[in-house]
Structure 1
Amino acid sequence: MVIYKIIVSIALLLTPWTVKAVSHEELLKIKRNFSMILIPTDSDPFHLKSILSSIEPEEEVSDQAVVELHQRYPFDREKIVFYISSLSDRGAWPDINYEDKKRSGWEPKIHAERILELVKLYYSRQTSYFRSEEVKKTIHKALDYWFTTKPVCLNWWYNQIGVPKTLGTAFILFEQELTSKEKKAAISVMGNAKFGMTGQNKVWLAGNIMMRALLQNDAELVKIARDTIVSEIVTGKIEGIKDDWSFHQHGAQQQFGNYGLSFVSGMSFFSGVFAGTSLAFDERQLGIISTLIDKGYRWIMWKGKMDVSSLGRQLFHHAPIHKALSLAFSASELGGGESKQCISVACNLLKENYGVMKQNPLVGHKHFWQSDYTIHRRPQWMASVKMASDRVVGVEMMNGDNMKGFYMADGATYIYQDGDEYLDIFPLWDWRKLPGVTAFQSDDPMPIIQKCHPRNATSFVGGVSNGMYGISAMEVNRAGIKACKSWIFIDDYMLCLGAGIQSDSNLVVTTAIEQCHRTGDLSILQDGVWNKVAGQWKSVNAEQRFFHHNTGYIIWNVATSSCVAEVAQRSGYWHDVMQMYRSRMVTGEVSSIYLEHGVFPKNKKYQYLILPDTSPATVKNFNLSSIQILRNDEEAQIVYIDRKKMYCITAYQALSLMLNTGCTLDICTPGIYMLYEENNGYSMWCVEPTQKRNLIKVRFRNREICVPLLEKKGQSINVKL
């Protein structure tokens, strides 16, 4: 440890965030900040505690962000009475399985969480238990059990991060009541955390070391731990905050709702803990975190819920609600209420998700180019598309989490209006028919990812955007399926194209259009009349129009593929998705629409339109001739949208396109292009999605135009033609 201190101290002398030595008075200030932040009060300036109190607490919790969110709930007197009365003479609680071997949702951690809850209760002036001898006795007994039995989880994370993080907080708050023996044992528990790793894991570990240093009154180690924490407040590293304002962990993998959420939550907490001392975060550091919220997290939240595709492997019950609320607390507390930039960003996020607003004010189109992830936002709806490439890991299965999510990054497409469309649907889903995904139809168990992350074996994956509209494209070559897929987003609809669909199996191949909770009738337009779909409906007609939950779906020109619409009562188990849950059946009605391409399809294609926030009359009367699909094959997908005077082009190969003005556009570099008429000329937004070429080249009106990419690989570039 001494050698490590010397090495780190020398390294930190060379970094811009190094600060002067920490005084004894500042250590006391940091400990007081712990108490001010963590001991409950009646203060609720943003009414977030009121929102939290309206949500039924979870019975089984594994997600660290949700664990900490639950620690904000008002004290439940019935639970407190149980904690005190049921604790055995040995200091154990009878409802906890201390022999639990799960790697996620490990039950002994509940013991640590209850200790922290009791410590907060002991110091809370809001209850009659303030400085209660009965509560203090219970805390000492529960601590003694942990120090004596030393529970160990099979998952390293609980031993080095999760449990020390929870107990360390309790130790700091309860320090004055700890005996010398208990304090020595507490320091030993905290000693399980060592400096190392990357991204949020690095921050967690350093935070635990910082708490140990506070118990030891080791000012030098507190400073080293703090500087290690803030060393991750940067962009552009392999893991952590990316240049496109997404967050990566476990390699090139988007982790907004998992590690990224814990990063923001932790940094918000530390910004308060160090406030008023020489270790306080500076405006640059606070600016980076608030920008991550502003340019990243605000985009993936809709009406107080996080997008399903941002959750990573953490598909817990109520996860979109809990994670969004956890972020809201963190944003509101970032900088201790003293940074104008942090306050501004927090207010925007809170108004958009928890205010009384008729329309969503954050409107536009954003493609996270380092994460193969697209968000499209309109005043009344939001859509997301999650993809994967040979650069970007799509999804992971780990520690019993996400046991069915094999296809979650193969173009999964979610549409939100009220925000509840997919809330807690995970046990009821047909996981081979996630919206937007082309996959095999089968009743066999879902493939399990072992020791490696699923990647798509192609680099042609990306998106182009002008800030308001956009195109995303994905060449799929994964798990026996090949396809070329494009998504075109404008004001009031999303157009989805697929071509070149092939497979290597004798299983039927499907493309799912929608699979969500049933909200009202699923209706089909037949002979000019809307009729309710009961059970399953199937047809090979050239054109079909459906309506469900204020959303229209129009499918046309799908060749010999069958269109299937279904409303079904389903049942399932949370345990099958997330193994930390007990095996309890849940039921619900699901509405779904999908295409069947058959067995061994060869160059099959599809085209369908989704119109959110609409009416049956609008869907019925929608004029498809306003959308001219010029090509939809494995070489190119080209659409001309008449009312926007816009060409949407996914060019998998070099090609020539005759524009309606008689001009020829030669696309020499395969890529994604959005071309529209502007001021008697053309404006073109383009992207080279493979991120392997150094320039984009086109020919227009006998001019060769070369756009150097330099540091802009994967990003949208505007060119005037």
Structure 2
Amino acid sequence: MIKRISKFDINQETFRRLFGIFMLLCIMAITGHIALASEIDVIKKRVMDELLSSGVDNNEIEDLLNTQREDGTWPGINYEDVSRTGFEHRIHTANMVTLSKAYQAKGGRYRNNRKVRQAIQKALAHWVEKDYFCENWWHNQIGTPTNLVAVMLLAGSDMPKELVEKAQPMIGRAHLEASGARPSGDRIKIAGILAKNLLFREDKQQFDEVIKVIEGEIKFSSGERGMQHDYSFHHRHDRVNNTLSYGLGYADAFVEWAVYVAGTDYAFSDEKIKQLVDYYLDGICKTMVFGKYPDPGAKNRSVARKGALNPMDAHTPKKLMQATDYRKEELEEIIKFREGELDEVSLSHSTFFWHSEHFTFQRPHYYASVRMYSTRNRNMEEPYNSEGLKNHHRGDGANHVLLTGEEYYDIYPVMDYQKVPGATILQKEALPDENQIQRPGLTDFVGAATDGLYGVASFDFKSPHDPVQARKSWFFFDEEYVCLGAGIQAGTNRPVVTTVNQNLVFGDVVVGNGKEQKASPKGEHELDHVEWVYSDRMAYVFPEPQKVHLFHGPVTGNWTDISKQTSAPKEDVTMDIFKLWVDHGSRPSEGSYAYIVLPGVNREQAASYDHASRLQILANTKDVQAVKHKGLGIYQLVFYQSAELDLGEGMKVIMDGPGQVILQMDGKAIKKITVADPARKLGKMHFRINVPVNHTEAGFAGAWNPQNEYSEIAVDLPRDVYAGKSVTVDL
């Protein structure tokens, strides 16, 4: 018997099916919403845990509670001065954060404490009533919002709603259209503040958008603000190296959020995280002494702050390892060295940041750097907020060398800023005004050739401050490096000097020549026929006996001489200083110098060092500077113009134009060629050498011509954002 299905039955069946589908969709939607909500909660908890990770000092909390005034303020803070050099109000908001941590800390004495809650409320009420606004935008858009959003996350839910809402416009000054939210380190910081506030307000939709902005900030900037293609960092269009200032904050902000969102639907892509690891290891860490201590030559106005050269902790590399296994072994070594588990690092490198004109060199026992500038960038950061008031010459070929990372620690209030290590400087009665510090470079032949392990840096130097010019090169090898200067000219009667080094001194200073060696008494001395000077495991060797000037002894200065910040220490500082320099006299026309830096040696090694058996200075003129390392079989050559150079042992090089060349030999055969164009004007580099080379590959052609007995070499050079980068060819 066939059952008839009525129209009503069909509608009922359809309804049941549709209702079932509807319920399933609802469940899926609710489940998805719950999953998303739970992920937001996970991220928020991670943010709060990070805020609480520094712990609470109960004595500090007690002091804040006892000293707070009825109006919510604290004594010792100047609430009137909102200038760029003042704004001690940051201490007020920092106090609020400290109290909020105590209020939220699980198991702490002040957890959910009524007095602490009242203190936070009074301090916040005072702030929202006054709405302190600094002349420096950074405090308004980053500093103050950072602290206020931390207070919201930790204690905001227990604050009066009206007070919380009044604080929101002040936190809201950290937004993506803010004047400070430029594509660079500050944009990513501002986006991070905004994201934390969105977590507090539970605005999931906008949070999703801001996280995408943070992830998108990890990118190469193609010559503008931000991460450069050489892994240095520019914060401004002046193209000054900011890797160890804004560039650190840029990395830290991204790493912070990479860990917060790891394992959730908001997690950053592997591509972005790997790029950040590359930037951290190949940019930041290679601009640091052994990846731990900031390179003094890479610091700008921040040298005017006490502790600017403090060693870095392991916080950021540890965070990176929570987000990825990429380059794990390298990160682990940095962590172990920073935490004192290793005595030295294994990494040896020769690195040139061609976008920032900064060269760094490292061996396990020493680190050195050279800071330069060209027509492509400025010499130094401006003295923003009246810091770094004497930095006029700190980019003029500054050459720092370190064994421990502490050789220049807090030297800056007592430093002689007209004797910058490595620089050739006109000696003036006084430095120009602070508004004269930043200047564009005047020459374009500025750069370095490096194969990643060895390198030569060159600076066609023309001072933007004084009528002084010189051609300066540094040739780096495993145990020593050679410093050459030639063509030194000055159109003034004032003396011109090249400073070998100026650093802190901790032991005896010994001066030697072929006949004797003796400890130098403290004070300033003019010494003749000097062959070497030794100080604190560092020897400075002169290939030809040299007249030098030496000073070592106590020097007194003050931080307020280089900073007008109200936080600058007011007490005089006295330190023992070592200074060694060569005086070229007044109005030099063809001045020159040559010295070898021998790091990490004892006094006996300094006295017995035989430079002639290890090194040969092939040329030191205004046209060509060149050094051969006999033991390594390496020739490092700098041509400021087309020239012919005798390499010795029957070898010659004929260069068609300016450029740098490194030849690594295996006996009489060339096994590696490295070239670079510091001027960045060439598409190819051409030179000839009377050594057989028959090798062709993409971008390289070498052919032996038996008729003239020369090999014709042509090397394609990098273009665009890679112009200035070295090219290395293994034969």
**Aligning the two structures, in what range does the TM-score lie when normalised by the shorter sequence?**
0.7 to 0.9
The residue number in structure 2 matching 1:517 is 504
Q: Using the alignment, how far apart are the partners of 2:545 and 2:122 within structure 1? A: 69
Q: For residue 108 of structure 2, what is the aligned residue in structure 1? A: 127
Q: Deviations over 1:580-623 (max 9, x none)?
A: 21422111110110111111111100001110111222222222
Query: Aligned residue for 1:708?
Result: 716
Whether the aligned pair in 1 keeps the contact of 2:524 and 2:552 (CA below 8 Å) is no
Residue identity in the other structure for 1:247: F
Once the 2 structures are TM-superposed, how far is the Cα of residue 537 of structure 1 from its aligned partner? 5.0
Matched, 1:651 2:639: yes
1:578 and 1:438 map into 2 onto residues whose CA distance is 25
2:95 partner SS: helix
* 1:184-241 Cα distance to aligned partner (Å, 9 max, x none): 1121112212324121121122223223333443223212222222221112432222
**C-alpha distance 27-575 of structure 1, shift in aligned 2 (>3 A):** same
Find 2:621's aligned residue among 613, 622, 633.
633
Asked if 2 retains the 8 angstrom alpha-carbon contact of 1:302 and 1:353, the reply is no
- Confirm or deny: 8 A CA contact 1:21 1:220 kept in the other structure: no
Q: Which moved more, 1:28-37 or 1:546-555?
A: 28-37
Offset, 1:88: 0.8
Matched, 1:115 2:96: yes
Instruction: Give the Å deviation of 1:720.
Output: 5.8
SS at match of 1:497: strand
> How far off its partner does 1:367 sit?
1.5
- The answer on whether the counterparts of 1:498 and 1:605 sit within 8 Å (CA) in structure 2 is yes
CA RMSD of aligned residues (A): 2.2
How many angstroms apart in 2 are the aligned matches of 1:132 and 1:101?
32
| Structure 2 counterpart of 1:16 | none
Among 285, 290, 312, the alignment partner of 2:300 is: 312
| Structure 1 gap ranges (5+) | 1-19, 41-71
What amino acid is aligned across from residue 704 of structure 1 in structure 2?
E
Task: Identify the residue that residue 198 of structure 1 maps to in structure 2.
Answer: 183
CA spacing shift, 1:101–1:558, aligned 2, 3 Å: farther
Quote how far apart the aligned CAs of 1:568 are.
2.4
What is the rounded CA distance, in whole Å, between the counterparts of 2:632 and 2:330 in structure 1? 33
Match of 1:33 in 2: 46
Q: Is the 8 A contact 2:633 2:666 kept in 1?
A: no
Query: TM (normalized to structure 1)?
Result: 0.88
- Match in the other structure for 1:77: 58
Using the size of structure 2 for normalisation, the TM-score is: 0.86
1:383 Cα deviation (Å)? 1.0
Verify the 8 A CA contact 2:386 2:564 in the aligned structure 1.
Answer: yes
Tell me the residue number matched to 1:69: none
The question of whether the paired residues in 2 share the 8 Å contact of 1:523 and 1:530 is answered with yes
1:453 aligns with 2:438: yes
2:77 to 96, 103, 108: 96
Cα drift, residue 415 of structure 1: 1.2
Letter of the structure 2 residue corresponding to residue 164 of structure 1: P
Partner AA of 2:531 in structure 1: Q
SS in 1 for 2:92: helix
Q: Quick one: structure 1 residues 311 and 25, their matched pair in 2 at CA, closer, same or farther if it must change by over 3 Å?
A: same
* 8 Å Cα contact 1:413-1:435 kept in structure 2: yes
- Provide the residue aligned with 1:229 in structure 2: 214
Are 2:162 and 1:181 equivalent residues in the alignment? yes
Which residue identity does 1:424 align to in structure 2?
D
- Report whether the alignment pairs 1:268 with 2:278: no
Instruction: Name which of structure 1's ranges 653-662 and 383-392 shifts more when overlaid on structure 2.
Output: 653-662
Q: 1:408 aligns with which of 394, 410, 413?
A: 394
Question: Is 1:690 paired with 2:679?
Answer: yes
Give the superposition deviation at 1:573: 0.9
Deviations 1:508-543 (A, max 9, x none): 111111111111011111563321222345446354
Q: CA deviation at 1:31?
A: 1.9
1:670 Cα offset (Å)? 0.7
Instruction: Find the residue that maps to 2:577 and give its secondary structure.
Output: strand
Which residue number in structure 2 is paired with residue 674 of structure 1?
A: 662
Which 10-residue stretch deviates more, 671-680 or 227-236? Answer: 671-680
Q: Deviations over 1:655-712 (max 9, x none)?
A: 1123334243211131111113136421321100112221111123434322111444
Contact 2:379 2:440 survives alignment (8 Å)? yes
CA contact (8 A) 1:572 1:586 kept: yes
User: What amino acid is the match of 1:400?
Assistant: S
Q: 1:461 to 1:197 in 2, by over 3 A?
A: same
CA distance in 2, matches of 1:22, 1:235: 34
| Closer, same or farther: CA 474–407 of 1 in aligned 2, 3 Å | same
- Greater shift, 168-177 or 180-189, is seen at 168-177
* Compared CA separation, residues 176 and 458, structure 1 to 2 (3 A): same
**C-alpha contact (below 8 Å) 1:543/1:556 kept by paired residues:** no
Q: Is the 8 A contact 2:489 2:587 kept in 1?
A: yes
CA pair 698-305 structure 1, distance change in 2 beyond 3 A:
same
Displacement of 1:377: 1.1
Secondary structure of 1:140 counterpart: helix
Among 449, 452, 456, the alignment partner of 1:471 is: 456
Whole-angstrom distance in 2 between the partners of 1:471 and 1:33: 47
1:163 aligns with 2:144: yes
User: Which structure has more RCO (C-alpha within 8 Å, separation ≥ 6)?
Assistant: 1
Contact between 1:475 and 1:484, CA under 8 Å: does it hold in 2?
yes
1:635 shift after superposition: 0.8
Q: How does 1:345-384 map to 2 (within 5 A)?
A: 345-384=330-369
Contact 2:718 2:725 in 1 (8 A): no
What is the Cα deviation at residue 445 of structure 1? 3.7
Distance of 1:321 and 1:21 partners within structure 2 = 45
CA distance in structure 2 between the aligned counterparts of 1:470 and 1:105, rounded to whole angstroms: 44
User: Larger deviation: 24-33 or 646-655?
Assistant: 24-33
Aligned to 1:5: none
User: Which one of the candidate residues 480, 485, 489 is aligned to 2:472?
Assistant: 485
Mapping 1:199-348, distance limit 5 Å: 199-237=184-222, 238-251=224-237, 252-302=239-289, 304-315=292-303, 316-321=305-310, 324-325=312-313, 328-334=314-320, 337-341=322-326, 343-348=328-333
Deviates more, 1:352-361 or 1:248-257: 352-361
Return the alpha-carbon distance in structure 2 between the equivalents of residues 224 and 625 of structure 1.
64
1:717 aligns with 2:727: yes
**Cα deviation, residue 306, structure 1:** 1.3
How far is 1:300 from its partner? 2.7
**CA distance in structure 1 between the aligned counterparts of 2:35 and 2:713, rounded to whole angstroms:** 58
Structure 2 residue 596 is the aligned partner of structure 1 residue 609: yes
CA drift at 1:92: 0.5
- Determine the C-alpha separation between the residues in 2 that align with 1:529 and 1:543: 10
More displaced stretch, 711-720 vs 596-605: 711-720
CA 420–446 in structure 1, closer or farther in 2 if over 3 Å, else same: farther
SS at match of 2:301: coil
Cα distance in structure 1, aligned partners of 2:639 and 2:323? 50
Cα distance change on mapping 1:105 and 1:612 into 2, 3 Å = farther
- Compared with structure 1, are the counterparts of its residues 320 and 22 closer, same or farther at alpha carbon in structure 2 (3 Å cutoff)? farther
Deviation larger for 111-120 or 710-719: 710-719
Provide the residue aligned with 1:66 in structure 2.
none
Deviations 1:541-586 (A, max 9, x none): 3543111001111124488xx4101112111111222322142211
- Kindly provide the amino acid, as one letter, of the partner of residue 355 in structure 1: G
Offset from partner CA, 1:602-658 (integer Å, 9 cap, x none): 110000111011122222222232322222111111222222222221110111123
The Cα shift of 1:718 comes to 2.0
Residue 160 (structure 1) shift: 1.1
Residues 531 and 545, structure 2, Cα contact 8 Å, conserved in 1: no
| Runs of 4+ off more than 6 Å | none
Given that 1:462 and 1:472 are in contact with CA atoms closer than 8 Å, whether structure 2 keeps it comes out as yes
Matched to 1:632, the amino acid is N
